[in-house]
Amino acid sequence: MYTKDSRIKTLFDAPLGKDILDLILYMSGKKPFLFKNPFIGNIPLKKLPSLTKNLISDDFLDTLITMLNREPKKHVCDVRHETKAWWKSAVFYQIYPRSFMDSNNDGIGDLQGIIQKLGYLKDLGVDALWLSPVYDSPNDDNGYDIRDYEKIMEEFGTMDDFDELLEKSHKLGMKLIMDLVINHTSDEHIWFQKALKDKNSKYHNYYFFKKGKDGTPPNNWTSVFKGSAWNYYEHLDEFALHVFSKKQMDLNWENEQLRHDLYCMINRWLEKGVDGFRLDVINLISKTKGLPDGSKALEGLVGAIGYEHMFYGPKLHEYLKEMRKETFDKYNAFTVGEGAGIGLEASKFITCEKRKELDQIFNFDQLNNPGKNRYDSYKYDLRILKQLMLKWQTQFNTCCWPTIVFENHDNPRFLSRITKNEAHRNYAAKLIIMLMLTLKGTPYFYQGQEIGMIDSIFSKPSDLRDVEAINMYNMYLEQGMSQQEAMDKVSFGTRDHARIPMQWEDSAYGGFSKKQPWIDCSRDYMEYNVKSQLTDSNSILNFMKNLIALRKENEALVYGSFINAANDDDTFCYYRKIENQLFYIELNLIDTNKKRRIDVNNKKYNKILSNYTDNDELLRPFEANIYMIGDNK
């Protein structure tokens, strides 16, 4: 049992303790030996608040100790050999339907638009599609606020369109997974509406309704999208919890009837033949009983107060196991969970195949350098990314399979973070693609990544569409900032960067629509678009296509072991090996020339693909090469 008198060094024995120390060290840019240092290691946990300048505050320490005592000591897993699965070798492609392709020219992407592009995706080598939500929604958060799980959003089409999309994807040999948002529903969902109408309705207990304390909310939790996490309903004299927007009401998973209803809904989609789900903020579904106050000190780190009472809640594993048994397993369906804040050890507990919870999990530590978040304007240092990748490549057991992801609909373009130098754009885009297709794990590409799409410019508040950015903007105004200052604070990080229309060609609106789209395009489609890249053999798109093809032909690039090669901080070089097949991957992580450590001019190294067309003694800015070693070509 952990107590406040346990020594700091003992935290390393507990999986969750290790995750949290790792996170703190990573965020603060300190080296792991800090806590292993005997002097610090022997200090009792109760000194952590003063040691961490209250980042680990007294109240958080209590929560932490409870969590540590809840988990088994070590992750024991006897899976010796990796099993094969379609989703381990698949190349995933995320579609944000609103911004992908507009078939009826109303300015909004739709299902028929996606159907038009299936051939393109197949040709690129995509094996599986993940659709961001397409369910009926009032669109407070673009579909992540679901009003009706069993209906298609009108703007996107009909259930017939969906059935057609599913059938056509399958005909082309592509899998289709849906977004499943079950931590919350829209406040316009019939369950919430009934709950509001009648306190005695069974639906009232589907959500977290609570009395306030003398007119103030039941606890101090804040929303990830800013402001209190509670809405007040006067006619009930009660508050209801929303961790995200004011229209995204958290579901009470403690309620068995609710869970049952959710499972039935999931099964109806599986019955239709969808291949699996990406589970939105699934790590948040279990909240600490009684919903106690959260630590204020952590707000800066995670962006909201109360997060420690939900990011790895007491019944998370229980619910995941139950859900899998009641739904996914019956249909052999695939699952990948979104787990912001979940570390390596917790990920093992969630995805170890023997434990039968989820198949995969997304971790987002790699999206920003330590101590930075997406609202900061800075140049991302890939050398730090390498350390993180090494950790996941070498410490994730054989029973787990990593996700490799750098872009999604919630973040500015990764490419824009690595370099703003146009001369380096193509090289950097290809380097990331090579990393994604040669590391061990499942690559998840986001629409537009294949053509090197970059951030847009949002200069006035009326340019913004993202509920989070708009809320933040208003919060800054309330704090007394000028409009310009407030805009400067949100313009770099707004999720709108990832949501501008897909760039298909150089005609008006990038060929996405014939009408002004729901969100502005940038002028960048004149230069960077699918049409021109399809015919340019040297394009980012064709680079990705060639590399996907290579990956499909060579098992070493999927199931082969990962071996870190002799290299220095500025380069990332590794082997992928299976039986007698051996690949060597060489990446220059910086934007200046670099000397090689390994002599690749040796005859044994056959260069297969590079983001530079000629050879050089030195590795050039962001140079990325893949070689096949030996004569077994």
Binding site for Ca ion (CB under 5 A): 102, 104, 106, 108, 110
Scan residues 283-322 and list those touching ligand TEU (CB under 6 A).
Answer: none
- Residue 468 binding partner per list Ca ion, ligand TEU, none, with a CB distance cut-off of 5 to 8 Å that depends on partner kind: ligand TEU
Scan residues 345-364 and list those touching ligand TEU (CB under 6 A).
Answer: 364
**In this chain, which residue has its C-beta nearest to ligand TEU?**
144
Closer residue to Ca ion in complex, CB, 112/193: 112
Do 388 and 407 contact (CB within 8 A), yes or no? no
How many whole angstroms separate alpha carbon 350 and alpha carbon 378? 33
Cβ 13 to ligand TEU, closest distance in Å? 29
Closer residue to Ca ion in complex, CB, 102/591: 102
Integer CA distances (angstroms), 545 to 67, 540, 562, 599, in order: 45, 9, 22, 28
Q: Is 280 in the site for ligand TEU (CB under 6 A)?
A: yes
Scan residues 327-346 and list those touching ligand TEU (CB under 6 A).
Answer: 338, 340
Helix (H) or strand (E) run with residue 120 in it: helix 118-124
Rg of the chain in Å (alpha carbons): 24
- Residue 110 binding partner per list Ca ion, ligand TEU, none, with a CB distance cut-off of 5 to 8 Å that depends on partner kind: Ca ion
Longest dimension (CA), the chain: 79
End-to-end CA gap in the chain = 56
From candidates 161, 275, 359, 468, binder to ligand TEU by CB under 6 A: 468
From candidates 244, 334, 528, 583, binder to ligand TEU by CB under 6 A: 244
**In this chain, which residue has its C-beta nearest to Ca ion?**
110
Q: How is the beta sheet containing 581-588 ordered, strand by strand?
A: 561-564, 571-578, 581-588, 624-629, 605-610
Burial of 33 (0-12, 13-18, 19+ CB in 10 A): exposed
Cβ 115 to ligand TEU, closest distance in Å? 24
Buried-state track 274-313, b at ≥16 Cβ within 10 A, e below 16: bbbbbbbbbbbbbbbeebbebbebbeebbbbbbbbbbbbb
Closer residue to Ca ion in complex, CB, 106/488: 106
Nearest to 525 by CA among 595, 454, 475, 580: 454
Cβ 281 to ligand TEU, closest distance in Å? 5
Active site residues: 280, 338
- Residue 340 binding partner per list ligand TEU, Ca ion, none, with a CB distance cut-off of 5 to 8 Å that depends on partner kind: ligand TEU
- Residue 410 binding partner per list ligand TEU, Ca ion, none, with a CB distance cut-off of 5 to 8 Å that depends on partner kind: ligand TEU
Cβ 152 to Ca ion, closest distance in Å? 13
Scan residues 428-447 and list those touching ligand TEU (CB under 6 A).
Answer: none
Closer residue to Ca ion in complex, CB, 406/509: 509
- Residue 623 binding partner per list ligand TEU, Ca ion, none, with a CB distance cut-off of 5 to 8 Å that depends on partner kind: none
Do 203 and 257 contact (CB within 8 A), yes or no? no
Look up residue 138 and give its two tokens: 């009032």
Helix (H) or strand (E) run with residue 563 in it: strand 561-564
How many whole angstroms separate alpha carbon 573 and alpha carbon 594? 13
From candidates 410, 450, 455, 623, binder to ligand TEU by CB under 6 A: 410
* CB-based contacts of 261, cutoff 8 Å, min separation 6: none
The residues with which 606 forms a beta bridge, in sequence order, are: 628
- Residue 104 binding partner per list ligand TEU, Ca ion, none, with a CB distance cut-off of 5 to 8 Å that depends on partner kind: Ca ion
Closer residue to ligand TEU in complex, CB, 437/498: 498
Scan residues 178-207 and list those touching ligand TEU (CB under 6 A).
Answer: 181
- Residue 280 binding partner per list ligand TEU, Ca ion, none, with a CB distance cut-off of 5 to 8 Å that depends on partner kind: ligand TEU
* Residues near ligand TEU, by CB under 6 A: 141, 144, 181, 224, 244, 280-281, 338, 340, 364, 409-410, 468
